[in-house]
């Protein structure tokens, strides 16, 4: 009688530990931003709103690191991609919208609460649709993969949209927390108008997230070999803004990244009469993370 050797059953592949922890840290930052903005921690409103904005930027850092860690360890997975989108919906969807509402409430901008809620709700909807579209879009053909990847993003990435909203409380309250000097006169009026502008900006980036406007991948362009005069001009412009107006440099630069491409596209199409760019295959999501270099 022949004895049959029982082989071991294949163990299910466990999810990647380090990339998953980094992705979950992104979600914790988003939840922390909501908690701080709501006043749960008991800090002064200015301090709490500033901390909430910083936590959103910290979430962006974790969001970029999780994908790099997964690719470095060779542990990309569908699970990571779905988890990343869920965490992004918290940090780059719900948290910025709630932060905008609390900032408008604190600054008493004089805008009807219903309009503020509509702007915040549309932002959340735009972020969720952006993330969902990013996950389901088919990859480009192999012969076009490298070219499409170099082109960047279709629609404003959700981390970039979140950075636009989060930059306002950082610019408004950061210098005040450092110097312990309350703004007065023209500075106070400028802060009030910036807070009044934020709901409109939030509405604008909500539309741009679901648009088909092409956005460059700045980090990959910085790492590319060869000379790039256009990128050099961008770096010089950014340094000039930082040197000239350091307090509002972050909002200016992130708003420029968000609103310059649609402005240029509109100028070329409607004023110069250039036809729109032909439809191209959007860049597919790279599991387990799509931000940092993703949605």
Instruction: Supply the DSSP string of 110-158, one letter for each residue.
Output: ---HHHHHHHHHHHHHHHHHHHHHHHHSPPPPHHHHHHHHHH-EES--H
Q: Assess if residue 290 is contained within a domain.
A: no
The pLDDT value given to residue 253: 93
Alpha-carbon separation of residue 62 from 21, 122, 157 (angstroms): 9, 25, 16
Tell which phi-psi region holds residue 215, choosing left (phi > 0), alpha (psi between -120 and 50) or beta: beta
CA neighbor of 137 nearest in space, from 155, 160, 159: 155
User: 202: domain CATH number?
Assistant: 1.20.120.1760
Confidence at residue 139, expressed as pLDDT on a 0 to 100 scale: 66
Kindly state the percentage of the chain with pLDDT values over 70: 75
Q: Residue 100 is part of which domain span?
A: 17-271
Q: On the CB side of 74, how many CA atoms lie within 13 Å of its CA?
A: 1
How much is the pLDDT for 291? Answer: 41
Instruction: Note the pLDDT of residue 232.
Output: 78
Whether residue 286 is contained in a domain is answered as no
For residues 228 and 274, give the distance between their C-alpha atoms in angstroms, rounded to a whole number.
24
- Residue-level pLDDT at 12: 44
Task: Give the pLDDT of residue 225.
Answer: 56
Alpha-carbon span 167 to 295, nearest angstrom: 19
pLDDT at 53: 96
pTM of this prediction exceeds 0.85: no
> Is residue 278 in a domain?
no
pLDDT reported for residue 122: 97
User: Domain for residue 291, yes or no?
Assistant: no
Q: What is the pLDDT of residue 10?
A: 47
Number of domains in the chain: 1
Spatial CB neighbours of 64, under 8 Å, sequence gap ≥ 6 = 289, 291, 292, 293
pLDDT of residue 110: 87
* Rg of the chain on CA atoms, in Å: 21
**5 in any annotated domain:** no
Q: Residue 39 has what DSSP assignment? A: T
Q: Is residue 289 part of a domain?
A: no
Whole-angstrom distance, CA of residue 55 vs CA of residue 5: 56
What per-residue confidence (pLDDT) applies to 185?
65
Residue 279 lies in a domain: no
- pLDDT averaged over 10-residue windows placed end to end, the chain, 295 residues: 51 66 95 94 89 96 88 80 92 97 90 94 96 80 55 86 95 77 68 89 96 82 62 83 87 93 85 58 42 51
In this structure, is residue 1 part of a structural domain?
no
Helix (H, G, I), strand (E, B) or coil at 92: helix
Give the per-residue pLDDT at 247: 84
């Amino acid at each position: 009688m022949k004895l049959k050797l029982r082989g071991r059953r294949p163990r299910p592949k466990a999810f990647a530990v380090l990339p998953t922890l980094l992705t979950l840290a992104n979600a914790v930052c988003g939840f922390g931003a909501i908690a701080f903005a709501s006043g749960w921690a008991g800090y002064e409103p200015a301090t709490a709103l500033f901390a909430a904005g910083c936590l959103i930027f910290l979430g962006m850092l974790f969001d970029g690191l999780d994908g790099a860690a997964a690719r470095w360890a060779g542990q990309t997975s569908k699970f990571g991609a779905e988890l990343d989108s869920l965490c992004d919906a918290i940090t780059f969807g719900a948290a910025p919208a709630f932060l905008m509402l609390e900032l408008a409430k604190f600054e008493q901008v004089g805008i009807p609460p219903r309009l503020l809620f509509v702007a915040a709700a549309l932002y959340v909807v735009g972020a969720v649709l952006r993330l969902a579209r990013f996950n389901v879009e088919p990859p480009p053909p192999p012969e076009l993969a490298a070219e499409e990847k170099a082109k960047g993003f279709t629609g404003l990435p959700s981390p970039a949209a979140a950075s636009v909203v989060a930059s306002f409380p950082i610019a408004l309250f950061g210098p005040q927390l450092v110097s312990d000097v309350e703004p007065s006169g023209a500075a106070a009026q400028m802060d009030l108008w910036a807070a009044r502008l934020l709901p409109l900006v939030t509405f604008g980036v909500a539309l741009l997230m679901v648009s088909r406007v092409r956005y460059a991948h700045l980090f990959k362009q910085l790492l590319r070999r060869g000379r790039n005069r256009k990128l050099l001009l961008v770096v010089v412009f950014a340094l000039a803004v930082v040197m000239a107006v350091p307090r509002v440099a972050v909002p200016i630069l992130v708003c420029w990244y968000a609103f310059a491409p649609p402005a240029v596209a509109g100028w070329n199409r409607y004023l110069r009469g250039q036809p729109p760019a032909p439809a191209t295959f959007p860049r597919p999501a790279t599991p387990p993370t799509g931000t940092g270099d993703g949605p």
